[in-house]
């Protein structure tokens, strides 16, 4: 039986790109069913872009300060995505709220380092520690116009242990976040995503 054509995705990043790396590694197996068409970033000089270069992937940078308004940036980012025509987009540590042009054209999956709806926002790990949470984790969800409010696809729990710092806890979260993201993106690529009454699922 021949392997079906892989599903093309674009991955958006802002930082170290360890989640991107997990997707790059998984994509090297044709059975995974995903081809990363390009990696986009909102800033230059980040380790994640070097990971993309090392993997021979096309990259682009679309910076908010290079555009007169957020809406103009959103339209420019949508145009960069259009150039690759991905089946869906993965926000893997992309630290910008996506706007209406991108979200009206693309299904976007995001990975977040907390058990949403707990601890949305840019400092989820720090916020979980500050709240003395005993358990936190990570969430892969669909992006909507809100801040980490879209339908949840999958979650994984991580215990907070005495003496945890933001760094140690985030490292343990990433250890479960990477395989969770790889699993959900692969299933979404191979089987698709449905949303019914605000609940997202993969068949």
Residues taking part in catalysis = 112
Q: Which of 9, 10, 12, 18 binds ligand GRF (CB under 6 A)?
A: 18
Structure tokens belonging to residue 71: 């809406």
Q: Whole-number minimum distance, CB 94 to ligand GRF, in Å?
A: 8
**Contact assessment for residue 141 and residue 116, using Cβ atoms and an 8 Å cutoff:** yes
Judged by beta carbon, residue 75 or residue 172, the one nearer ligand GRF is 172
Q: Whole-number minimum distance, CB 82 to ligand GRF, in Å?
A: 24
Q: Is 40 in the site for ligand GRF (CB under 6 A)?
A: no
Identify residues 98-137 at the interface with ligand GRF (CB under 6 A). Answer: 111-113
Q: Is 7 in the site for ligand GRF (CB under 6 A)?
A: no
Q: Which of 10, 11, 12, 19 binds ligand GRF (CB under 6 A)?
A: 19
Q: Which of 6, 40, 93, 137 binds ligand GRF (CB under 6 A)?
A: 93
**Contact assessment for residue 193 and residue 142, using Cβ atoms and an 8 Å cutoff:** yes
The neighbouring-strand residues paired with 88 are: 9
Binding residues with ligand GRF: total (CB under 6 A):
15
Q: Is 177 in the site for ligand GRF (CB under 6 A)?
A: yes
* Residue showing tokens 């250890």: 175
Residues in CB range of 142: below 8 A, 6 or more apart: 107, 108, 109, 110, 150, 151, 153, 193, 195, 200
Judged by beta carbon, residue 43 or residue 72, the one nearer ligand GRF is 43
Going through 63-173 in order, the beta strands assigned E by DSSP cover 88-91, 108-112, 135-142, 152-159
**Contact assessment for residue 77 and residue 114, using Cβ atoms and an 8 Å cutoff:** no
Q: Are strands 199-201 and 152-159 parallel, antiparallel or unpaired?
A: unpaired
Element holding 167 (H helix, E strand) = helix 166-191
Q: Whole-number minimum distance, CB 122 to ligand GRF, in Å?
A: 8
Q: Whole-number minimum distance, CB 110 to ligand GRF, in Å?
A: 8
Q: Is 148 in the site for ligand GRF (CB under 6 A)?
A: no
Residues that bind ligand GRF (CB under 6 A): 13, 15-20, 48, 92-93, 111-113, 174, 177
């Amino acid at each position: 039986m021949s392997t079906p054509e892989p599903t093309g995705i674009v991955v958006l990043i802002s930082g170290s790109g360890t989640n991107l790396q997990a997707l790059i590694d998984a994509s090297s197996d044709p059975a995974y069913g995903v081809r990363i068409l390009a990696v986009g970033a909102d800033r230059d000089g980040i380790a994640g872009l070097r990971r993309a270069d090392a993997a021979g992937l096309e990259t682009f940078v679309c910076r908010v300060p290079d555009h007169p308004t957020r809406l103009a940036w959103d339209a420019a980012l949508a145009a960069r995505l259009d150039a690759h025509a991905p089946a869906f987009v993965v926000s893997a540590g992309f630290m910008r709220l996506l706007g209406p042009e991108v979200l009206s054209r693309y299904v976007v999956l995001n990975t977040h380092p907390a058990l949403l709806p707990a601890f949305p926002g840019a400092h989820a790990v720090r916020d979980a520690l500050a709240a003395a949470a005993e358990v936190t984790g990570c969430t892969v969800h669909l992006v909507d116009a809100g801040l980490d409010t879209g339908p949840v696809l999958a979650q994984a729990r991580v215990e907070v242990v005495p003496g945890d710092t933001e760094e140690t806890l985030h490292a343990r979260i990433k250890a479960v976040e990477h395989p969770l993201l790889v699993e959900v993106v692969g299933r979404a690529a191979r089987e698709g995503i449905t949303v019914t009454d605000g609940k997202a699922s993969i068949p």
